[in-house]
Amino acid sequence: MSSREVIVLNVGGVRFVTRASTLQQFPESRLARMVNDDNREFKLVNGEVFVDRDGALFSYIMDFLRTLQVSLPTDFSDYQRLQREAEFYELYPLANLLSQEHLLKPRLEILEVRFSLREMQTFFRIFGSCSTTIGALAEQITVFTGQQSGQGWNSPFPSQKPLVPLPLERPSHHDLVFLCGTEYSAGDQFMARYVSIKPDNRKLINGTNVLGLLFDTLLKDGFRLISTRTVTSEEKVECYTFERMKRTAGLAIMVNQTPGSSGVAQARRSQVQKGK
């Protein structure tokens, strides 16, 4: 089998086609020894290597050998079974990663939007359990200010006066504050605040429109609305709570190459970001 470039594995009735070099990523593993004809436990049947193990779980083994990363679905729960499979194939770096189940399990992320309408202005405050999400959202939202004359809500953008972007308020790493609408300045002049949320290029002044665009942005980012409540009826503060499952920082195997190792030597662990 050592002379073959492409190998077909039949694992519990599920076929896998891969390169011999992929199975040799870890020279001390049972799969590598099989390719090198040093392991007689696996039987060659009709040109396919038959392995009497779980084929569905082996798909994660193959993915690991191809990418050197643990990549599991958010609803995955068979950590111990997959660890046993990794131990059977003597892929101990993978087994060690799977033993750190708490690092691989996805975490529930909560985000809360508070919306308050006061006369002709609307106040927004966004709280998030993940500071990275709040930081990314802050980069998408821009508030522009400028003077205009007329009736505030229904007036067009101020003519011949460029809008000035304003920084968002960041009371902490886990929340941000901004507002939109108009406030009386002097005479028939109004100070207007417009909100733009990337990738949408509109500048919105109406708080309800901004809220709708914010919802669309969060839903496209994988959040789902789970509750709506009134915080204080006197101040008309509405609270909207969102959640999403976020994969935590996963673990990868970084492989060092050494002379005479045929491409792979001892593995070491490092963290890599898996998704939002």
Q: Which pLDDT tens digit goes with each residue over 200-259?
A: 989 999 999 999 999 999 999 999 999 999 876 666 789 999 999 776 554 555 554 443
Integer Cα distance of 3 and 26 in angstroms: 18
Nearest to 78 by CA among 59, 64, 98, 55: 98
> What structural domains does the chain harbor?
6-104 (3.30.710.10), 108-151+158-245 (3.30.1410.10)
Cβ–Cβ under 8 Å, residues 192 and 158: yes
Contacts of 134 (CB under 8 A, 6+ apart): 126, 127, 128, 173, 174, 175, 176
Integer Cα distance of 112 and 107 in angstroms: 16
Cβ–Cβ under 8 Å, residues 83 and 98: yes
pTM of this prediction? 0.59
pLDDT tens digits for 108-154? 899 999 999 887 899 999 999 989 999 999 999 999 998 766 554 44
Amino acid at 247: R
CB atoms within 10 A of CB 102: 9
Beta strand 6-11 with 48-51 is parallel
Quick check: 5 pLDDT over 60? yes
Segment holding 18, helix H or strand E: strand 14-19
Comparing 33-37, 71-75, 127-131, 173-177, which segment has the lowest mean pLDDT? 71-75
Which residue is listed with tokens 């009134």?
230
Cβ–Cβ under 8 Å, residues 142 and 150: no
Cβ–Cβ under 8 Å, residues 79 and 103: no
CA 54-59-60 angle, to 5 degrees, is 105
Percent of the chain with pLDDT over 90: 51
